[in-house]
Amino acid sequence: MSKSRLHQLSELGQSVWIDYLSREMLRTGELERLMRDDAVVGITSNPTIFQKAISQGERYDEQIRACLGETDDPKEIFWRLAEKDVGDACDVLRPVWDAGQGRDGYVSIEVDPNLAGDTDRTIAEARRLHAEIDRPNLFVKIPATKAGLPAIEEMIASGKNINVTLIFSLERYAEVAEAYIRGLERLVESGGDPSQVASVASFFVSRVDTETDKRLDELGGHDDLKGKLAIANAKLAYQRYKELFSGDRWAPLGAKGATTQRCLWASTSTKNPDYRDVMYVEELIGPETVNTMPEETIRAFQDHGEVALTLEHGLEEAKRLFEQLAEAGIDYGDVVRVLEEEGVQKFADSFAELLDGIRAKRGELAAA
């Protein structure tokens, strides 16, 4: 039997993760099917995804009823629901983690997005989530805000796995990698084992084109530059990754078994219907990377995706694109600033909506 397109992609060194999690998926065996048929070896989640899962069906009702005997705080109820799902998913993926010696098999849970500007509370919540779920294949997601950077370093220094999320800019990516490396150096200095800690740096891809294309439309007359910055941005980030995780500074950490902080391509569904629906997968295939995809992108790629090593193609064009956009009047620094601010706000809004949904569900069950 011929291998599926996603199995072929994984053979080129890119890990396939999915960007959704639900109790339905866990109870029906859908996760095991995705692992078998679609080469899935990891899961990411966020407030929007949990909100959708909890609002649909009755899978969570029994646990919510049980929680109501102890608390009516919607945030506390949410954490209990999410921690249960994430812990169970970690257990399903544990054989992948074991077989790959900690390279894949991870499940991610995000700190409260309202803490994005508060370093100390982010650290406290990340520690709490690691303690509550207590799985070696757990990633806690911390956003790559200025306040998030020292929290990332602190968690890595204490030997905890971190998925750094909401990365848009090349400059911020370099700061994220620096926080990871510095955290590992501190871990080693304190006698810790760097081979036991892992991290990924999650670039949000498609949103870069959405924001840039909108600005190009406002300027008018630059259609040839549309739909290109997101991929160029990610390709140049990968070049930076290769530089940062080699050379004299990285060598002693690598010698002690430290693993590189892989680039993870997130937000890889295509938002513009005029663009090829799998372009953010096809154009970013390369070793030592992760692509976390929504269900529709997994299905589309399995149907008609083209598998080839593309991540290091067109690097000169990618660099030139930044110059062309600047000449057209696009301020890259402002694009990525707005995207970070909007990204934090979107997650905070989803978290608020999620808590509203739990309040409504709590009311229904209490009245039943």
Angle at 237 between CA 4 and CA 317, to 5 degrees: 90
Place of tokens 């109820």: 77
**Helix or strand holding residue 248 (H, E):** helix 247-255
Q: Is residue 143 a contact partner of residue 149, using CB atoms and an 8 Å limit?
A: no
Instruction: Tell me the chain's radius of gyration from C-alpha atoms.
Output: 20
Q: At what angle do helices 315-328 and 229-244 cross, to 10 degrees?
A: 130
Q: How far is CA 54 from CA 85, 350, 356, in A?
A: 11, 13, 11
| Residue 141 designated active-site | yes
Which residue out of 75, 141, 146, 271 is catalytically annotated? 141
Question: HSE of 12 in the Cβ direction (CA atoms, 13 Å)?
Answer: 22
Say how far apart CA 147 and CA 122 lie, in whole Å.
9
Could you tell me where the DSSP H helices lie in 197-278?
A: 206-219, 229-244, 247-255
Residues carrying an active site annotation: 141
